[in-house]
Structure 1
Amino acid sequence: MENTVLHKAATRGHANHGWLDSHHTFSFANYHNPDRMHFGVLRVLNDDRVDAGMGFGTHPHDNMEIISIPLEGDLEHKDSMGNTTIIKKGDIQVMSAGTGIQHSEYNKNKDRLTKFLQIWLYPNKRNVTPRYDQITLDVAKRHNKLQQILSPNANDEGVWIHQDAWFHMGQFDKGFSVNYNVKKKGNGVYAFVLKGDITIGNIKLNERDGLGIWNIDSLAITANSQNAEVLLMDVPMAL
């Protein structure tokens, strides 16, 4: 029997630090909700807006797979592995924190804000050697289809992580429908609507709503508005 959990956009945790406006789908920092600790190995889904010229100072992470997806503007990344890079809309960035890294993230633009998703997944291997990667995706490849942006396999499309997880992004015309087949038995799918209105199964979702579904083999997705965008995160349910 399929199971679902629906997180409407307005029910998320919210922290406004002035320069940073962040919505938390799952418990994070000062937002603690015992019913929203994680969805399987998906631990953090933060929807962040960073003001011009502002950002996160150097801070540590360990034993977490950290994925950043810019939605608007760009973000400068620096880390203890010696990487200094810019990620922008159309890019995806991954860090395996492993035994420990330090990094900072800044919006260096003086005239516009940056919007990005920060996603954390528990890894399936602890204390790996830290690593960093980022790629630029061909956004045209997600028009009326699901473009794979992340997988467990280094030679597949998108970035790879230390977890049996697959991420896809799609941008659909109104009325377009697509089926998604779950990649691994026992995985669930967490769908996050980036833009517009979408129906998954028989559940209607609006912008920034999240829906987790498990005990399924596939799910049907239909766009109810023009240029509707969705992120699908296919993740193990067992920690």
Structure 2
Amino acid sequence: MQTLLHTADSRGHASHGWLNSYHTFSFAGYNNPQRMHFGVLRVLNDDTVAAGNGFGTHPHDNMEIISIPLEGTLEHKDSAGNHGIIRSGDVQVMSAGTGIAHSEKNHSHTEQVKFLQIWVFPNKRNVPSRYDQQTFRAEDRHNQFQQVLSPNPDDAGVWIHQDAWFHLADFDAGFEAEYQVKKPGNGVYVFVLEGDATVAGQALHRRDGFGVWDTTSFTVQGDSNTRLLLMEVPMDL
């Protein structure tokens, strides 16, 4: 088993007044050659957007883009005519494929929105662009791994063009479970959303990230009431 620890305070940071963003991997003005990606996981941004503000229309291509709101409401519009509002409990995915332009804005004019923006390299280039979102029940991740993303349109959760599986989990203090890697050669990047946990023997705290690979399984324990996002991805680009 190999592991990699990224503490919360080691992330890149950008504050633009309307946007407060923490970058686990190199992004925009944060360029760290040691923090370019974890396998095909390219971007993990922890964003807070002020009320009434957001990202104007901008293009993407050949990237799988996942948005997970943590607090507040996020509004999406794109050049394919899709328009959606996503909230805490929702997961949104956009396959940029051959090219798409979109905007992401705080839907509220009175409250901030917090969300994760995640980019994953696809396993197929120049696919038709696609948009989807789903809502997931909080009770279905209590002391268990709740699958919210997979490579299979017929499986639980949204899907992307990559052999990746994402899970959310809300663990009580002292609860422990074994995560089984879905595909040989994949690694898992664990991101602590809230609380404290021990993953594969490593103590983690709020907003720490921890990569695990070259293993078929590992233990996850809540050291306090904790919320986790586990992102299983291929390690080879």
TM above 0.5 = yes
2:229 corresponds in structure 1 to 231
Tell me by how many angstroms 1:139 deviates: 1.6
In 2: Cα distance, 1:38 partner to 1:69 partner: 19
1:100-115 aligned within 5 A: 100-115=99-114
State the identity %: 65
Q: Distance in 1 between matches of 2:109 and 2:56?
A: 17
How far 1:110 sits from its partner (Å)?
Answer: 1.6
Q: Which runs of 5+ in 2 are unaligned?
A: none
Q: After TM superposition, what 4+ stretches of structure 1 lie above 2 angstroms from structure 2?
A: none
Q: Distance in 1 between matches of 2:159 and 2:20?
A: 28
Cα deviation 1:11-58 (Å, max 9, x = unaligned):
000000110000000000000000000000000000000000000000
Aligned length: 237
CA shift for structure 1 position 166? 0.3
Code of the residue aligned with 2:66 in structure 1: it is I
Superposition deviation, residue 108 in structure 1 = 2.3
Aligned to 2:185: 186
> Is the contact between residue 61 and residue 100 of structure 2 (CA under 8 Å) also seen in structure 1?
yes
Q: Which residue of 2 aligns with 1:7?
A: 6
Answer whether contact 2:85 2:107 (CA < 8 A) is retained: no
Alignment RMSD (CA, Å)? 0.5
Q: Which residue of 2 aligns with 1:165?
A: 164
Question: Which residue number in structure 2 is paired with residue 131 of structure 1?
Answer: 130
Letter of the 1:38 counterpart: H
Match runs of 1:193-208 below 5 Å: 193-208=192-207
**Secondary structure at the residue paired with 1:53?**
coil
SS in 1 for 2:140: helix
Residue 43 of structure 1 corresponds to which residue in structure 2? 42
Q: Secondary structure at the match of 2:117?
A: strand
Q: Matches of 2:200 and 2:123 in 1, distance apart?
A: 30
Q: Structure 1 length normalisation: TM-score? A: 0.98
* SS of 1:10 mapped into structure 2: helix
| Alpha-carbon separation, structure 2, partners of 1:147 and 1:202 | 22
* Structure 1 unpaired stretches of 5+: none
SS at match of 1:141: helix
SS of match in other structure, 1:144:
coil
Aligned to 1:73: 72
Q: TM-score, normalised by structure 2?
A: 0.99
CA distance, structure 2, for counterparts of residue 71 and residue 24 of structure 1: 16
2: CA distance, partners of 1:219 / 1:117: 24
| Deviation, structure 1 residue 3 | 1.1
Q: 2:5, 2:211 within 8 Å by CA — same for their partners in 1?
A: yes
Q: 2 CA distance for matches of 1:98 and 1:181?
A: 30
Aligned with 1:140: secondary structure? helix
Structure 1 counterpart SS, 2:33: coil
Report the alpha carbon displacement of residue 155 of structure 1 after superposing the two structures with TM: 0.7
